[in-house]
């Protein structure tokens, strides 16, 4: 058994996959809406990665947490926001907190939060979904009924309960918010992976591995996981937008990050009192909102396009 | 299996799920230590000395094994005692029930609009696929799903409430709302339904009716815009699929008019998957209500619970969560039954 022969086989085996990927990509780049989505996502990624360069801390005050927006002390501690100037191109909000820094670092925060949540929910979903689908029977029943219970609540409401209870128990609301978003997120992936595992479980190569004496763990890790994970990863990555939106909604309700944190939802929450004087202080709530919309719009556009491309019924026409 | 047995079986399945919901909430409550949980039963725990608090912990059995506590908690729930709100200074269950009509009023106006507009837009844009109408609808629907309801709401409230002063925040203009509470306290106003638009008509107070409608406009607009977007998307793709089926070709070949083919053959079949996502819509509505009520200071259960959550008032949030779960699960049951009724393959399969 030579390695050259193996690579040859490997090439032949993944040939259809490459062809499929090329076809999908060409379809994606042909639709203007999905290109717009990709552009928006790249723009957000650039903002997030280069946040320290784009919006450096110029206040001269050392920060203990990069996401705590530095205050311009030359402007004092006025509650009243100051309008956009050359020094603060998006203006400042309550207590002279710089909005440009907040919005740019808010992008970085959105990605960090989204990644944390997706990695955790996917890990939980993968483990439970595989156990559920592979072993079936009683354990499957228990896990599925548990997902039923979590799914019996509209997501944001359950998250609200967790934040209130954990907050009462002394957690910081931000920790509590991330924890609760993870908690409401895993049942969806668990079910999805379970379905995929059920589909793959009966395949010949799994039977073959079992006949060859492979252990359950090996079958799950080497044969079932690689064949059931892709669709779930795609679904999960498209959930980025909605996860960030849920987190922003929690922050908007005052159930997320602390005051002065680089989080779009929190910035809008801080801008709400100023919306009471009409459009006088419009920048305090309009700018953070625009950043959220550009983020979720990107993911929704790409998600829409991907769904069209991946759906075999609607594609080759 | 007939439809009746299907309904009975689904109703029986509700029991374990609701029991699970109760267990989950109880499990979550275990994060909070007994001293803090005593506040669910005491009006003002800070007034009491530690020994008294300890005595109350003992009286309410919070120092007993978990299963005993669970049993006691369950019994008090069945007795309708959900505890006392430290933030609102009232019993939570009456507090919840008093605020249900305000929320219901938004739902009554928003839900039919969402369904009618959503289905109409979805069907028409599928029929005119890739035409200008379709493009505009798709952009509208993508915007609706990308625009956070709180951002949209804050902008609307800044423009129409604070800047133009067309309406005030809340359910009624302050002067009318004072008059209404005076009427109520002097027994000149009977609360028939709690819905201001209905009660005002029954009392022949057109001014209150118009004012209540004006105050409903913005919250309903936000809800409809966001939720319609979801519905349009699903209806459109389902309608497109139906239009590509062979029975459509057959109907056309039979010589039916275009309208007959679209509205009698395609639309009926396209609406089946739309029914299944209505459960999702109910969930979306419930979360949307929290946001819109908070933004427009509309005194419904969503705003009630959100404000309580900000102040870590656990008893309010818990009763709100159980109420929402019950409503959500029931709504999903109705959707499933409706689905089985429309599509016999479900109950037979």
Predicted ipTM beyond 0.85 = yes
In the predicted model, is pLDDT for residue A4 greater than 60? no
3-state secondary structure (DSSP) of residue A33: helix
Give the residue on A whose Cα is nearest the Cα of B287.
Answer: A156
Q: How confident is the model at residue A115 (pLDDT cuts 50, 70, 90)?
A: very high
Q: How confident is the model at residue A312 (pLDDT cuts 50, 70, 90)?
A: low
Mutation for testing the B interface, residue in A143, A166, A275 having most B CBs under 10 Å: A275
CA distance linking residue A125 with residue A145, whole number of Å? 14
Check A145 against B310: CB less than 8 A apart.
no
What are the tens digits of pLDDT across the range B120-148? 999 999 999 889 999 899 888 888 888 99
Q: Quick one: CA torsion of B254, B260, B265, B269, rounded to 10 degrees? A: 170
Alpha helices per DSSP H over chain B: 3-29, 34-38, 50-59, 66-78, 92-127, 132-146, 149-156, 174-185, 196-202, 206-243, 246-253, 258-259, 267-295, 301-310, 314-342, 344-348
Residue A244 has what pLDDT?
94
What are the tens digits of pLDDT across the range B144-194? 888 999 999 999 999 999 999 899 988 999 999 899 889 988 888 888 888
Contact by Cβ (8 Å): A93, A271: yes
Q: Is B54 on the interface with A (CB under 8 A)?
A: no
Instruction: For residue B40, give how far its alpha carbon lies from the nearest alpha carbon of chain A (Å).
Output: 12
Contact by Cβ (8 Å): A250, A265: yes
CA distance linking residue A265 with residue A246, whole number of Å? 9
CA distance linking residue A106 with residue A100, whole number of Å? 9
Give the mean pLDDT of B42-70. 77
Residue A221 has what pLDDT?
86
Residue B9 CB partners (closer than 8 Å, separation 6+): B1
Instruction: For residue B68, give how far its alpha carbon lies from the nearest alpha carbon of chain A (Å).
Output: 21
% of chain A with per-residue pLDDT over 70 = 95
In the predicted model, is pLDDT for residue B28 greater than 80? yes
In the predicted model, is pLDDT for residue B86 greater than 90? no
Give the mean pLDDT of A303-311. 76
Tokens of B35: 């001293």
Q: Is B143 on the interface with A (CB under 8 A)?
A: yes
Q: How confident is the model at residue A1 (pLDDT cuts 50, 70, 90)?
A: very low
Residue A7 has what pLDDT?
60
Which carries the bigger pLDDT value, residue A72 or residue B236? B236
Of A154, A248, A285, which is closest to B328 when you measure between CB atoms? A154
Residue at token pair 């709400």 = A272
Instruction: For residue A176, give how far its alpha carbon lies from the nearest alpha carbon of chain B (Å).
Output: 12
Residue B18 has what pLDDT?
87
Give the mean pLDDT of A75-98. 81
Give the mean pLDDT of A268-287. 90
CA distance linking residue A74 with residue B38, whole number of Å? 48
Mutation for testing the A interface, residue in B10, B17, B31, B233 having most A CBs under 10 Å: B31
3-state secondary structure (DSSP) of residue A254: coil
Ranges A108-112, A300-304, B196-200, most confident: A108-112
CA distance linking residue A267 with residue A316, whole number of Å? 45
Report the range of poorest mean pLDDT among A27-41, A300-314, B273-287: A300-314
Q: Is B263 on the interface with A (CB under 8 A)?
A: no
Report the range of poorest mean pLDDT among A263-267, B60-64, B192-196: B60-64
The predicted model scores a pTM of 0.89
Which carries the bigger pLDDT value, residue A87 or residue B213? B213
Give the mean pLDDT of A197-226. 87
DSSP-assigned letters across all residues of A166-222: HHHTT--HHHHHHHHHHHHHHHHHHHHHHHHHHHHHTSHHHHHHHHTT--HHHIIII
Residue A55 has what pLDDT?
87
Which carries the bigger pLDDT value, residue B185 or residue A28? B185
Burial of B178 (0-12, 13-18, 19+ CB in 10 A): exposed
Instruction: Calculate the average pLDDT of chain B.
Output: 87
> Chain A residues with CB inside 8 Å of B291's CB?
249, 252-253
In the predicted model, is pLDDT for residue A72 greater than 80? no
Which carries the bigger pLDDT value, residue B90 or residue B303? B303
Instruction: Calculate the average pLDDT of chain A.
Output: 86
Give the residue on B whose Cα is nearest the Cα of A154.
Answer: B283
For A156, B74, B94, B100, the CA distances from B78, given in Å and listed in that order, are 26, 6, 15, 20
Q: Is A240 on the interface with B (CB under 8 A)?
A: no
Interface of A with B in 23-52 (CB under 8 A): 33
Residue A24 has what pLDDT?
77
Instruction: For residue B37, give how far its alpha carbon lies from the nearest alpha carbon of chain A (Å).
Output: 10
Burial of B113 (0-12, 13-18, 19+ CB in 10 A): middle
Residue B43 has what pLDDT?
61
CA distance linking residue A33 with residue A103, whole number of Å? 25
Contact by Cβ (8 Å): B292, B302: yes
Give the mean pLDDT of B231-258. 88
């Amino acid at each position: 058994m030579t390695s050259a022969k193996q690579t040859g086989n490997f090439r032949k085996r993944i040939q259809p996959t490459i062809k499929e990927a090329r076809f999908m990509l060409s379809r994606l780049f042909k639709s203007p809406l999905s290109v717009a989505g990709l552009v928006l996502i790249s723009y957000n990624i650039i903002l997030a990665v280069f946040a320290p360069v784009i919006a450096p801390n110029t206040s001269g005050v050392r920060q203990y947490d990069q996401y705590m927006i530095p205050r311009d002390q030359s402007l004092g501690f006025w509650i009243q926001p100051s309008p956009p100037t050359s020094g603060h191109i998006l203006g400042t909000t309550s207590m002279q907190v710089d909005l440009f820094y907040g919005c740019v670092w808010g992008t970085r925060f959105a990605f960090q939060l989204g990644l944390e949540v997706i990695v955790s929910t996917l890990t939980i979903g993968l483990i439970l979904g595989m156990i559920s689908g592979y072993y079936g029977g009683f354990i499957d029943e228990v896990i599925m009924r548990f997902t039923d219970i979590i799914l019996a609540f509209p997501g944001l409401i359950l998250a609200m309960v967790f934040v209130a209870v954990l907050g009462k128990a002394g957690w910081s609301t931000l920790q509590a918010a991330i924890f609760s978003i993870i908690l409401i997120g895993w049942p969806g992936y668990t079910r999805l992976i379970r379905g995929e595992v059920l589909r793959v479980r009966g395949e010949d190569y799994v039977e073959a591995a079992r006949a060859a004496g492979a252990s359950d763990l090996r079958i799950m890790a080497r044969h079932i996981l690689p064949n059931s994970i892709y669709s779930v990863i795609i679904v999960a990555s498209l959930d980025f937008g909605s996860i960030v939106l849920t987190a922003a909604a929690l922050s908007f309700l005052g159930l997320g990050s602390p005051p002065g944190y680089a989080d779009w939802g929190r910035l809008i929450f801080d801008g709400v009192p100023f919306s009471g004087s009409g459009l006088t202080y419009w920048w305090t709530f309009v700018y953070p909102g625009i950043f959220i919309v550009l983020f979720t719009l990107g993911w929704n556009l790409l998600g829409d396009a991907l769904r069209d491309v991946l759906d075999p019924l609607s594609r080759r026409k | 299996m007939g439809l009746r047995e299907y309904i009975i079986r689904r109703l029986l399945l509700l029991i374990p799920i609701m029991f699970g919901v109760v267990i989950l909430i109880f499990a979550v409550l275990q994060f909070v230590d007994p001293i803090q949980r005593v506040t669910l039963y005491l009006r003002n725990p800070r007034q009491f000395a530690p020994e008294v608090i300890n005595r109350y912990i003992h009286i309410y059995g919070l120092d007993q094994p978990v299963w005993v506590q669970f049993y006691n908690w369950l019994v008090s729930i069945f007795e309708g005692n959900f505890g006392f709100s430290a933030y609102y200074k009232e019993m939570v269950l009456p507090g919840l029930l008093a605020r249900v009509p305000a929320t219901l009023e938004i739902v009554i106006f928003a839900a039919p609009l969402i369904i009618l507009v959503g289905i109409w837009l979805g069907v028409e844009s599928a029929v005119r696929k890739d035409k200008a109408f379709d493009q505009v609808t798709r952009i509208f629907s993508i915007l609706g799903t990308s625009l956070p309801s709180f951002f949209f709401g804050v902008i609307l409230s800044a423009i129409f409430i604070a800047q133009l002063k067309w309406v005030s925040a809340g359910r009624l203009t302050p002067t009318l709302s004072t008059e209404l509470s005076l009427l109520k306290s002097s027994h000149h106003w009977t609360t028939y339904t709690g819905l201001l638009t209905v009660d005002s008509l029954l009392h022949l107070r057109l001014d209150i009716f118009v004012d209540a409608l004006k105050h409903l406009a913005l919250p309903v607009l936000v809800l409809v815009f966001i939720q319609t977007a979801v519905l349009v998307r699903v209806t459109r793709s389902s309608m497109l699929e139906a239009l590509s089926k062979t029975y459509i070709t057959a109907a056309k070949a039979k010589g039916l008019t275009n309208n007959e083919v679209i509205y009698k053959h395609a639309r009926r079949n396209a609406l089946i998957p739309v029914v299944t996502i209505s459960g999702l819509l109910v969930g979306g509505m419930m979360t949307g209500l929290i946001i819109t009520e908070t933004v427009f200071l509309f005194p419904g259960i969503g705003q009630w619970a959100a404000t309580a959550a900000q102040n870590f008032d656990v008893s309010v949030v818990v009763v709100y969560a159980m109420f929402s779960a019950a409503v959500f699960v029931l709504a999903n049951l109705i959707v499933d039954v409706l689905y089985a009724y429309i599509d016999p393959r479900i109950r037979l399969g």
